[in-house]
Structure 1
Amino acid sequence: MAQVRMREALRDAMAEEMRRDESVFVMGEDVGVFQGAFKVTEGLLDEFGEKRVRDTPISENTIVGTGVGAAMAGLRPVVEIMTVNFSLLAMDQIVNHMAAIPYMFNGQVRVPIVVRMPGGGGHQLGPTHSHSLEAMFLHIPGLLVACPSTPADGKGLLKAAIRDDNPVIFIEHETLYGARGEVADSDGNGDGPLINFGEAAVLREGGDVTIVGLLRMVDVAERAAKTLANEHGAEAEVIDPRTLRPLDLDTILESVQKTNRCVVVEEGWPHGGVGANLAALITEQAFDYLDAPVQRVTGASTSCRRHWQRWRGPYEQGACSR
């Protein structure tokens, strides 16, 4: 096991898959010479050359559309969108083509593409670079959606995403790129372990309340659980879904049936968010086990996140107070 940063784990995942499969290539704005806006593609151009690490014009719809065409033709593109906000410029390709083509062709055509994008607040990047749009992609049939919170999950999920024949939205939190964590060493063939989509991680066991966290909010959930234990004598069970499509709802329901309470912590907006979806599913399928309504801790219903730069405390307090 080695201690690596999230950006290094993601880069290693792409490099390993590119060595393993010549059909895998990387494309996006500044992914080559500049090595990515967050340096996630550092070193890939030197190893694989311009043919497989392709800098693109500033046109997100064109970037994703080119990736969709390449995937339909038998390649496995890994597309980087510089920020999740810019993915809005590519929604026609994502919704009407990337997600829909396998259905439109009755499964005869696959679209094995991964679209990576950083999101989330806390980096002082302004309101047009800091949204949390996981719920938007969760809403679209045909897409797989991954949201890793640790370097190990980032590497394992990205490798699995690249090998999957379905289109994948891979969301990375901007503040986690420098986060360190243990990642399993690659085997003798230079290949690391995969993490299957649809398998949640139970990070802390407890019997009093279930706390579900997403991306950066996983750390907040764990901090809240420690506060509950140290200051209130309550033991919280902390769950990281890791992927939203497919969702490991069984693990969450099993926990709720034990704790009888649930709090969902997310950075996204409250209306129509991931927490709202989880609250509905839990209420529908575990209503008789609940001693209280499912509670949500969310971001503020505002587009401007400038006042969120000291945001960790309010989330932790919200998770504990619920």
Structure 2
Amino acid sequence: MAKAINAGLQAAMAADPKVLLMGEDIGTLGGVFRVTEGLKAEFGEDRVLDTPLAESGIVGTAIGLAMRGYRPVCEIQFDGFIFPAFDQITTQLAKITSRHEGLLPMPVVIRVPYGGHIGAIEHHSESPEAYFAHTPGLRIVSPATAQDGFTMIQQAIASDDPVLFFEPKSRYWQKGEVDRGLATPLHASRVVRTGTDATVVGHGAMVATLLQAAEIAAGEGTSIEVIDLRSLSPIDYAPILDSVQRTGRLVVVSEAPGNVSISSEIAATVAERAFYSLEAPVIRVTAYDTPYPPAKIETVYLPDADRVLEAVDRALAY
């Protein structure tokens, strides 16, 4: 996925000289995950900018650049350090286009490596996407595959609205085929495995966990349909509702805490719009409502295939 996103950034920069990259250590180093490796050498330091360690300054500068017709792509080095830029993102970036009655677009992309599974220290494994999905004016997406990493980053850059691009860092090293001619719409959910007994929904790194659970369940005679959300704001509910109308059961999985979350929103919306199709309550499997724990116990904190299968069993028991 890391190389696929790199290739997507390269393609966007080659196609449009107004696309700029900004972030801490993204130039000479190529970023801590090497996602921007080689791009400074190809496009120069005027288009791949190493910034000071100041997230608010990075996003604030990007807003100014967007006002002047550029399409800046900012990297937040780790998820937990996006919060110094929270004010710029939620009170300025998200609102400027509406404030100007649509006349001033904000084509800013903020790349956020997020999530756990890498044994990192505090502030390096969080899943803060719900904070931003709650804010009108922002588009929030998260790829789960190399293919989506390649295509979605280019679609995000092409958007005239601000896009927060949450990259599941534990998937950076997972290989996958990339078809340069294939492009699913940026905000479309996708069924990645069909099934008949229950629907499970997730995004980012959790999609691989859901597919693992579905494979185990298939060996036990249970057919699970897996849906990759891909977009967290807006959410494409059509594939979810269609699936629930056929299976009658829904399990929503997220490695973010469950309280006031995207998983809560999906559960509430499906209960509202597909109540008479449900044969069981919507069940959520999430991280626990505590601060992210020490790395040695993150496997207890994060949902795994066993927790997903236990939730499916509970749904099937009704």
Provide the TM-score with structure 1 as the length reference. Answer: 0.94
RMSD: 1.3
Which residue in 2 is equivalent to 1:285? Answer: 273
Q: CA deviation at 1:194?
A: 3.6
**Using the alignment, how far apart are the partners of 1:71 and 1:26 within structure 2?**
12
Which residue in 2 is equivalent to 1:55? Answer: 50
Conservation of the 8 A alpha-carbon contact between 2:126 and 2:292 = no
3-state DSSP of counterpart to 2:251: strand
After superposing the two structures, state which structure 1 stretch, 302-311 or 124-133, moved more: 302-311
- Aligned residue identity for 1:24: V
3-state DSSP of counterpart to 1:183: coil
Q: Which runs of 5+ in 2 are unaligned?
A: 312-318
1:227 to 197, 200, 216: 216
Which residue in 2 is equivalent to 1:254? Answer: 242
Runs of 4+ deviating beyond 4 Å: 311-314
Deviations 1:135-189 (A, max 9, x none): 111101011111100000111111100001000000011111101000014xxxx
Which residue in 2 is equivalent to 1:318? Answer: 307
**Using the alignment, how far apart are the partners of 1:293 and 1:260 within structure 2?**
9
Conservation of the 8 A alpha-carbon contact between 1:121 and 1:308 = no
**Using the alignment, how far apart are the partners of 2:21 and 2:186 within structure 1?**
21
Which residue in 2 is equivalent to 1:189? Answer: none
Is 1:65 equivalent to 2:53 in the alignment?
no
Which residue in 2 is equivalent to 1:263? Answer: 251
- Where in structure 2 are the equivalents of 1:37-52 lying within 5 Å? 37-52=32-47
Q: CA deviation at 1:248?
A: 0.9
2:263 to 275, 278, 301: 275
1:35 to 22, 30, 38: 30
Conservation of the 8 A alpha-carbon contact between 2:151 and 2:183 = yes
1:126 to 89, 103, 121: 121
- Aligned residue identity for 2:32: A
Aligned residues: 310
**Using the alignment, how far apart are the partners of 2:268 and 2:297 within structure 1?**
27
Conservation of the 8 A alpha-carbon contact between 2:73 and 2:108 = yes
Deviations 1:185-224 (A, max 9, x none): 4xxxxxx544322211111111110000211110111111
Compare relative contact order (CA 8 Å, sep 6+) and give the higher one, 1 or 2.
Answer: 1
Identity across the alignment (%): 41
Which residue in 1 is equivalent to 2:167? Answer: 172
3-state DSSP of counterpart to 2:201: strand
Q: Which runs of 5+ in 1 are unaligned?
A: 1-5, 186-191
Is 1:216 equivalent to 2:211 in the alignment?
no
- Aligned residue identity for 1:283: A
Provide the TM-score with structure 2 as the length reference. Answer: 0.95
